[in-house]
Chains A and B, each alone.
Chain A
Amino acid sequence: MSSHADVVVISAGIIGASVAWHLSEKKVDVLVLDKSDPCSGTSGACDGMVFLQSKKPGVHLAMAMAGRHRFDNLARELDAEIELRCRGGIMAVTSAAELAAVTRFIQEQNRAGLGVSLLDARQARDLEPCLSTDIFAATFCPLDAQVNPIYLTLAFLDAARRHGAKVLSRTPVMDIRITPRGVYAIDTPRSIIETRTIVNAAGVHAPEIGKMVGLEIPITPRRGQILVTGPMPPLLSRCLISAGYVAAKYDPDIAGTGSMGISIEQTARGNFLLGTTREFAGFDTTASLTAAKKILSRTQAVIPGLANARLIRTFAGLRPFTPDGLPILGHVSSRPGFIMAAGHEGDGIALSPVTGQIIAELITGTTPGISLTPFHLERFFRGTVS
């Protein structure tokens, strides 16, 4: 059996779902394939922070800022509850050494127009009384927000379906061929699907899809463990990261201070999500108690009230890591019609609306509002012949 779609999006994670919705809104005939169920990979195993403060000044921050306002109307556009809360975010600074590095970091962010303010310990506790008295200082960015990543992914898909998109769950892509007529033929256990345009939004599995068309895609899974507490009364109203989080992510200046990055958010239901590790352990998603112990002692040092919590669950997600920390987006010059939308590591949730928008614009022939050159796959094979 064979069928046809104008665009085939591979994977129904948050990026694939957003791309599908944006395309379907533009009346493009789109089919989403997922080897499992929607949102069963990284997007279903992460926290829901839409954090701008954590983005490195430069193209990354610019993209996040360009996409941030999209969240404001998203619930209405998607006609779904996505548990969006726009109360800003806090970065906790725990030492003088961190403070020096953080000051430089936010100066750059503010030059880019983000609007981050530096708070002393008292101001920080005025904002979030649950913070430890040991906090050295904090930064605050009013644009940071929280969302339920699972609800958002499913809302993208539901809305896409309402606009005519088709979603095939439990339909793995086994191979991609080019037919004599010059179109892609996607082999699945159910059928062969012919299309001129493929969007590879397979996250950590994007390299497997790339291989099918002869492309090497430098995405590796980076495990992040997250702990879940039982529902607690409202304690923390904003999402929070430590300065060490930014360090663990990319800044050697802060990394030198030796602190591990933590992230804390209290969900709409009241559960705390406490993170996170950044480990290269292949596709192993087991969560270890050693890591749990580390995360608990570090998060509780920032919010002492967490001592009263009960740890009910842990999970681990595989973040799609790229060597330079930037996602891989846009056309691949050597493979006409093969478009990349993967490699967002821990930023997939925050960048999902803007990524979907850009990819949809690209496919429908509109020039995206952001230059995609820094995000092209080709940046990794400079000097080599593809």
Chain B
Amino acid sequence: MSLLTLENLSVTFGKFRAVDNISYSVKEGEVLGIVGESGSGKSVSSLSVMGLIDYPGEVSADNLSFADQDLLSMPEKQRRKITGSDIAMIFQDPMTSLNPCFTVGYQIIEALKTHDGGNKKVLRARALELLNLVGIPAPESRMNAYPHQLSGGMSQRVMIAIAIACNPKLLIADEPTTALDVTIQAQIIDLLIDLQKQKQMGLVLITHDLALVAEVAHRVVVMYAGQIVESGPANEVFSTPRHPYTQALLASLPESASGKARLEALPGVVPGQYDRPQGCLLSPRCPYATDHCRHVAPDSQGSLERQVKCHTPLDAQGRPAA
């Protein structure tokens, strides 16, 4: 059964479409990787799932539902109840995402109290259990620590503890390891995947790290300039990318440049609000772009299982179809 479903979701800030008609779904116990360059709308789309898009941002969708409940039409109060309990999120920068004025224990217990309630003793025991679960040594003493007394890795563990406090069915991790150093990154990802398997959560993993997605994700969504350019089962997308952008992303990995003097790179940057090209958004950077691409925007082809947004999707040999 589908846990989270997005159909043609858009997020607009004034005239600017940060997220442009995207559709994907996450099943129970599934890991979905969302990849793309900075500014491609990865974070904004997940914030809209959490209901955290502030004025002047506007969210519209044909369907945005979680466990068959329509998130957009339900009363605000009910949505706030789901937020943080059934759907939880962890953010990029753990050092600034915990409130500096409150202890770790206070912030964990607060999440528990908001959604589950219970007396002080039970809540405290539960918080300790959570700290244990996310692998924090000496949790008793950490309960009274303030965020500034924790390292980045520790803070991220605390944030994960808070996010999974109410046993969410879906966890969104927005670049959970970007701000951490490499050795800690692996630990945090291992922890996330362990927890995901243990609790059979759906996990949306937003990241720049293609290797990571290839390793842990069941399905992958590739975003570019607010649009989903390709999505599908991770092994398929990585072995036979059908969109030139995905192909370019994979080619830019150091692994595919062995023996070469320089890494492959796609020239140019993601278009922003003022430099949107006509036609296909990738056309100025795409090596295969034709006149048709530069004038007419492509539609998504294929099913939700395997979609690609290109006039001339690549074939198994990585060449554009005629």
Q: Note whether A and B form a binding pair.
A: no
Interface residues of B (CB under 8 A from A): none
